[in-house]
Amino acid sequence: MKFKNIIQNLGANLLITILGLVGSIILARWLGPNQRGIFAAIIFAPTILQYFVNFGLSSATVYFTALPNSNKNAIWSSLVLIGFIQSIVGFLLGWFIVELYLQKYLVGSIHLGHLYLFTVPFGLFGMYATYMLQGSSHFKVTNSLKCIVPIGYCIGIIWLKFQQNLSIENLVYVQLITQFSYLITAVFFLYKILLTHFLFKIDYNFIRQILTYSVKIWFGDISQLVNSRIDQFLIGVFLSSRELGIYTIAISVAGFTGIFANAVKTIMLPSVIGRESLQEKINETIKFFKKYWIFSIFLHIIFALSLPTLIPIVFGNAYSESIIICQILIIGNLFINAKTVLSGGILGMGFPEILSYVEAIGMIISISLSILLIRIHGLIGISIAISLASSCQFLGLVILTNKKGIPYKRMFYTSRNKLNEDFKWLKNSIQII
């Protein structure tokens, strides 16, 4: 496991998470709840649309770029054509959705919502360029690109405040500028590092291949989106706004445990794809997962035990109720984060449909248990429901991967000598950094 790359990616993910949290806190304090809600409504539809029109091409881009001897120019040419069509579809859908969704808000909100739709093509093309660089293992550049929008956004908010020009309209312009800057920078580095010419040559056979792969992932992506939003939606329907606030803090804090898993997956995916035979891919997946799993257990336990001290200090005693909820969610996160890492190996082996099955199962369990338990036990009930659904997703993925040739024993069993070797590896890796 390339620990130095993982730490660098972990640092980038942590920076992005912190900047997102800082930006959210600043806007909540400086705009007030009403205007903050209007701004959230304006950006909601275009942001969600990227999940739908993306069609699973994010993971597909990494996969095909990471393949040995892949034609990078052909990949980019195909993505430009697909992205152009996706942008048109996104604009048409977004235009009518914004009209319906924002009609009850202030005059001018619909215009700003339409304007914000430009972030759809900016985000799509910038994302494709970034994922091509990630698939080629240019992680330093990839991490830097991912930081452009959150850094630019925070700077823009602070600058507008000091200029006494902080408004919803100006925030939309800041987002457009930062997203466009991200696009230009990502494409610049793509051509500088990977591409050899500016000519576009469309390979329709390759387009068929990449779409065949991506469609297997797309339903899973949509299911994952439902899984990540159903709890807060149901709390808003059945419980009070105060309870929603308590839960929001709990799930935000618990979400920090996923940073390490995403960092490992980012490094793991190209490494697995780069192996030639299926058995080599399986061995690489087991190597990454086993080391992650061992240290992940310790990390989640330590983090959960620190919450009775951490939450009151950071958020105040008013949020003390979120401690037990957060601890329950962390139990589920132990398994959902392990699923995230294992999914990197599954994608690298070329079995994306497995993830869609698992996400669909998780969606059904999550919705069913959440509706049942929230009525009986409130926040505790829905926290248990989400954790059980997360555990079932991981269990389902382990069972399906076993059928693909990854034995349970090799994934989870380790000898004492091997465990000591892993601890020595961790110590040496940190010293190298």
- Whether 43 maps to a domain, the answer reads yes
Nearest-CA neighbor of 268 among 303, 297, 293, 302? 293
Per-residue pLDDT band for 236 (boundaries 50, 70, 90) equals low
Report the pLDDT value the prediction gives residue 323, as an integer from 0 to 100. Answer: 92
Instruction: Check whether residue 311 and residue 353 sit in a common domain.
Output: yes
- Whether 210 maps to a domain, the answer reads no
Q: How far, in Å, CA of 375 to CA of 316, rounded?
A: 28
Report the pLDDT value the prediction gives residue 430, as an integer from 0 to 100. Answer: 44
Confidence check: pLDDT of 429 > 50: no
Q: Which amino acid makes up residue 193?
A: I
- Whether 211 maps to a domain, the answer reads no
pTM above 0.85, yes or no: no
Q: How far, in Å, CA of 429 to CA of 295, rounded?
A: 14
Instruction: Check whether residue 224 and residue 162 sit in a common domain.
Output: no
Instruction: Check whether residue 118 and residue 26 sit in a common domain.
Output: yes
- Whether 98 maps to a domain, the answer reads yes
Percent of the chain with pLDDT over 90: 30
Instruction: Check whether residue 172 and residue 233 sit in a common domain.
Output: no
Lowest mean pLDDT segment, chosen from 152-156, 236-240, 304-308, 375-379: 236-240
Instruction: Check whether residue 255 and residue 113 sit in a common domain.
Output: no
Instruction: Check whether residue 84 and residue 225 sit in a common domain.
Output: no
Confidence check: pLDDT of 176 > 80: yes
Percent of the chain with pLDDT over 70: 85
Q: How far, in Å, CA of 366 to CA of 386, rounded?
A: 6
Report the pLDDT value the prediction gives residue 4, as an integer from 0 to 100. Answer: 60
Which range is most confident: 283-287, 335-339, 418-422? 335-339
Instruction: Check whether residue 331 and residue 426 sit in a common domain.
Output: yes
**63 versus 182: which is more confidently predicted?**
182
| 349 within 8 A of 285, measured Cβ to Cβ | yes
Instruction: Check whether residue 368 and residue 341 sit in a common domain.
Output: yes
Lookup: tokens for 352: 């994306």
Instruction: Check whether residue 150 and residue 292 sit in a common domain.
Output: no
Instruction: Check whether residue 148 and residue 72 sit in a common domain.
Output: yes
- Whether 45 maps to a domain, the answer reads yes
Q: How far, in Å, CA of 250 to CA of 383, rounded?
A: 10
| 206 within 8 A of 78, measured Cβ to Cβ | yes
Last-in-domain residue among 142, 171, 202: 202
Lowest mean pLDDT segment, chosen from 114-128, 220-234, 246-260, 407-421: 407-421
Per-residue pLDDT band for 31 (boundaries 50, 70, 90) equals low
Lowest mean pLDDT segment, chosen from 164-173, 301-310, 405-414: 405-414
- Whether 277 maps to a domain, the answer reads yes
Q: How far, in Å, CA of 200 to CA of 75, rounded?
A: 10
Say how many domains are in the chain: 2
Last-in-domain residue among 148, 176, 202: 202
Instruction: Check whether residue 145 and residue 253 sit in a common domain.
Output: no
What is the number of residues in the chain? Answer: 433
Residue 63 structural domain: 1-202
Q: How far, in Å, CA of 6 to CA of 43, rounded?
A: 32
- Using H for helix, E for strand and C for coil, what is the string for 307-369? HHHHHHHHHCHHHCCHHHHHHHHHHHHHHHHHHHHHHHHHHHHCCHHHHHHHHHHHHHHHHHH
Instruction: Check whether residue 152 and residue 273 sit in a common domain.
Output: no
Report the pLDDT value the prediction gives residue 109, as an integer from 0 to 100. Answer: 84
The set of residues, in sequence order, having a beta carbon less than 8 Å from that of 241 and lying 6+ positions away, is none
Rounded alpha-carbon distances, angstroms, from residue 325 to 25, 359, 384, 394, 418 = 22, 23, 9, 21, 35
- Whether 52 maps to a domain, the answer reads yes
**205 versus 16: which is more confidently predicted?**
205
